[in-house]
Amino acid sequence: MEFTSINVKKERDTVLRFRREVFQESFGSSDSMNEEDYLDWLQKKAEEFPDGMKLVKKKGEPIGQLELSVREFKGRIIGYVHLFYLEKEWRDLGFGLNLYNYAMKFFREKDITEFHLRVAPENRRAIAFYKKLGMKEAGEELNGKVIRMTGSVNTWNL
């Protein structure tokens, strides 16, 4: 498994396909996704966090995507997982743990001890996976569209 820096222009179709699939799985539709806004945001984040915006590849072919950054939340500096994605055929094979380990390494290298992500309440499979890894639900946001989950980098052993 390889983690390669995202080249937004070159890999536009791949990152858009992955993001659409996430919207579809999370919200039942990708209609509310603004593709150009997402590509602009991703380009900026890829420049700011080149080691955090990664395509996940197996034998050179993209099978997933990871988007990680550092941000302020309620007066604290935290790690944030914007996207944690594997294509369906690559799930339940242990690859998710590889993405999680990469994220923990990224946050540790930036001296981050706490990280967050948001997940759709309907995505029970992802919630169960995150809980298995020690994350906790911190409450609903966006009028119940997502659940914020929190985790501790220090409790995770690579």
| Angle (CA) 153 17 53, round 5° | 30
The reported pLDDT for the residue numbered 23 is 85
Residue by residue, what is the 3-state secondary structure of the chain? CEEEECCCCCCHHHHHHHHHHHHHHHHCCCCCCCHHHHHHHHHHHHHHCCCCEEEEEECCEEEEEEEEEEEEECCEEEEEEEEEEECHHHCCCCHHHHHHHHHHHHHHHCCCCEEEEEECCCCHHHHHHHHHCCCEEEEEECCCCEEEEEEECCCCCC
The reported pLDDT for the residue numbered 82 is 96
- The pTM (predicted TM-score) of the whole model is 0.92
How confident is the chain (158 residues) per 10-residue block, as mean pLDDT?
95 94 80 88 96 96 97 96 94 90 96 96 91 94 93 74
The reported pLDDT for the residue numbered 24 is 83
Collect all residues with Cβ–Cβ distance below 8 Å to 17 and sequence separation of at least 6: none
